[in-house]
Amino acid sequence: MRRDHRPYWLKKILKKINHWYSQRFVAPAFDALGAGAQFLAPQSVQVHGPNICAGRYLHCISHPHKAVKITTWGDKVGKGAIRIGDYCLIAPGVEITSAEAITLGDSCMLAADVMIHDCDWHGLYNRLRPFRCSAPVTLGNNVWIGARAIITKGVTIGDNSVIGAGSIVTKDIPANVVAAGNPAKVVKTLNPKRKMLTRAFLFQHGDSYWQQQEEVDAFFTLDNTTIDWLRTVIKPSKHD
């Protein structure tokens, strides 16, 4: 399909179902979840383990073929913790797995297929269990991780920094830089004095951003009729 042919009434029903599912099954999987969270395709979101918290206005975009996975799995009871700040964006295929502690600051953005692990899961000589193989991972505020980047144990990434797509971060990255490569190295410095818009700006008036998105969606589906949608389901053409 070249575009979404679903009529607005159908999309509203599906959104209500997703909201119910999110509140009934996804939200309780967090130890704490702030107000205004939105989950796209919540049926595919996988949240497992204790000590998982997220702040306000988390935007989690999952997909049945690219599930978002947020997991704590410590070698001792109660070990492993994930803390996600306010206004964060998590894209399809992201995996965050903690045996020690992973912290994301406010307004962080994780692009598709990003992996963050704070543990090697096996030792070089003791490969039966994770033994002294973990170290905390910390992302500062407004950190942007590019698609398919990997963040390994013990890494700290400073405020406002960007990690290029496909990079593997094995050492600390300072604030206000762009880093890329394998292993990731600083390739550009950002001006810390220049004004920077963050995701927090989208929610400065609370839920009004989600309402605006709803109005945009309604506008772009004005021409979608039930009959035309059914036709595309039963017998789509090359023009659909």
Say which residues have a Cβ less than 8 Å from residue 162's Cβ, sequence separation at least 6. 143, 144, 146, 177, 178, 179, 190
Whether 5 is catalytic: no
70: its two tokens: 């947020």
CA-wise closest residue to 101 among 68, 144, 47, 139: 139
Q: Which of 63, 65, 117, 205 is catalytic?
A: 117
Q: Name residue, tokens 């964006």.
A: 89
For the CA atoms of 118, 47, 45, 218, what is the dihedral angle to 10 degrees?
-110
SS3 64: coil
Question: What positions carry a catalytic annotation?
Answer: 117
